[in-house]
Structure 1
Amino acid sequence: MIKSILTKAYYKINIIKHYFICNRISLDAEIGKDVIISKGAEYIGDVKISFGSTVGKGSYINSGIIQNTSIGEYCSIAYGVMIGLREHDHTFKTTSPVLAKIKYGDPELANLPRKRTSIGDGCWIGANCIIRQGLHIGKGAVIGAGSVVLKNVPDGEIWAGNPAKMIKARTNFD
C-alpha cells in the first residue's frame, strides 16, 4: 500500500518535472524512472511510460503503455497503444511471475529478458496497436490501427493486420 502511494507520488513529480519540457502533458500521464522526454515533445496524454523510455522532439502520444522504448522525433502515436511490454517465457515451468517467486524465489524467471524497442523518426502508430519488445520500426513507417507487430518494420513501409504484414511502401516520406 505504501509502495503504491509512493509510486503514484513519484509519477506526479515526474509530470511536474516534464511539464516545462513538453509542450503539453496530461495530468493523467505516468512518467517512470529514467524516462527522458526531449524538449519540444508535442503532447504526452494518458499514457504510462517507463523503464528508461525516450520520446523525441515533436512527437506526441495519446494514450497507452510504453516500456523500454526509444521513440524518435515527430512521431504520431494514437490511442491505446502497447509498445515494448514484458513477455512471459512460455518455455519455463510456469508463466506466472507470482508462482515463480513462490516456488523458485525469483519472479523474473517467468519473464523473457527485456529487449529495447525502437520507433524511428516520423512514424505513425495507429490506435490500439501492439508492438512486441525488441523490435525496430523504421523511419517514416506507418502501422495501421489494431495491428499486432511481431517483426521489424523497414523504413517507409505501411504495415497492418494481426499479425502485421507489409501492405505497401511509402514513396515519399521525410
Structure 2
Amino acid sequence: MTLFLKKIVLNIIGLPTRLYNFFVLKYKGVVYATYPRISGRIFISGPGKIILGEGVQINSNLFSNPIGGDTRTLFSVFKGATLSIGDYSGFSNIAISCKEKVTIGKHVKIGGGVKIYDSDFHSLNFEDRKNPKTDIPIIKPIELKDGCFIGAHSIILKGVTIGKESIIGAGSLVTKSVPDGEIWGGNPIKFIKKI
C-alpha cells in the first residue's frame, strides 16, 4: 500500500475519535486559541471553564506515549473553577481535578499518569467527614509556571506552585512549592539541585 493510501485509511479510522473530541470540546464550551492536537479521546466532566492556548498537545490513549498509559486524560473542572493551559504545553494520560483554579503556563511538559488536585476532596477532620454537610475540603490554587517539566506518575497537590523551568522527578509527591530553575523529586519531594 502506498504512503498516500495509508494516510487515507488512518484518517478514516481516526475520524470517529476526532468527531468525538470536537463535540466534547464544543459541548463543554472549551475556549482555545487553536484547536488542540489530541491523540485518543479526551474526557471532560463538570461545568467549569477550560482555556487552552495555541498548539496544546493532549495524549489520551494507551499508545500515544512510549511509556504507555494506565489512564486517559481527564479534566474534572467544577462549577466556578478555571483550568487554563498555556501555549505549546503538552501531556499524556493525566488527570486534573480543579475545584478553584489550576494554571499551566507555556511550554510546560507533563509526563504520563500525572495527577493534579487543587483540593483534598474531603475534610481532614474525621468528625466533619462523617456528615456530608460538614465534609468541606481545603481548596488552594495550583500554578505550573512556563517551561517546567513534571515527570511521569507524579502527584501535585493543592496550593503548589512549580517555578519557571523547574523539573519534578518521576513519581514525586509534590506537597510544597518549588522555586524557579531547580530540580526536585521524591516522596515527599525534596530539593536535588539547581539547573
Pairwise TM-score range, normalised by the shorter structure = 0.7 to 0.9
Rg (Cα) greater in structure:
2
TM-score normalised by the chain length of structure 2? 0.69
1:91 maps to 2:121:
no
Partner of residue 74, structure 2: 48
Counterpart CA distance in 1 for 2:97 and 2:26 is 17
Q: Aligned match of 2:89 in 59, 64, 76?
A: 59
| 2:59 maps to amino acid | G
1:2-31 CA distance string (max 9 Å, x none): xxxxxxx99952178678824411342123
1:154-174 CA distance string (max 9 Å, x none): 00110000001010011xxxx
Contact 2:51 2:84 in 1 (8 A): yes
Post-superposition offset of 1:113: 3.1
Partner of residue 139, structure 1: 164
| 1:73 maps to amino acid | K
Partner of residue 37, structure 1: 52
The aligned runs of 1:144-163 (5 Å cut-off) are 144-163=169-188
Contact 2:90 2:109 in 1 (8 A): yes
Aligned pair count reads 152
C-alpha distance 11-162 of structure 1, shift in aligned 2 (>3 A): farther
| 2:158 maps to amino acid | Q
Counterpart CA distance in 2 for 1:111 and 1:45 is 33
Post-superposition offset of 1:94: 4.4
Name structure 1 gaps, 5 residues minimum.
1-8
| 1:13 maps to amino acid | V
Query: CA RMSD of the aligned region, Å?
Result: 2.6
TM-score normalised by the chain length of structure 1? 0.77
Counterpart CA distance in 1 for 2:89 and 2:117 is 17
Name structure 2 gaps, 5 residues minimum.
1-19, 61-72
Contact 1:149 1:164 in 2 (8 A): yes
Partner of residue 4, structure 2: none
Partner of residue 111, structure 2: 78
The aligned runs of 1:15-34 (5 Å cut-off) are 21-32=34-45, 33-34=48-49
C-alpha distance 123-73 of structure 1, shift in aligned 2 (>3 A): same
1:101-149 CA distance string (max 9 Å, x none): 3xxxx3xx32423211000000100000001111111100100000001
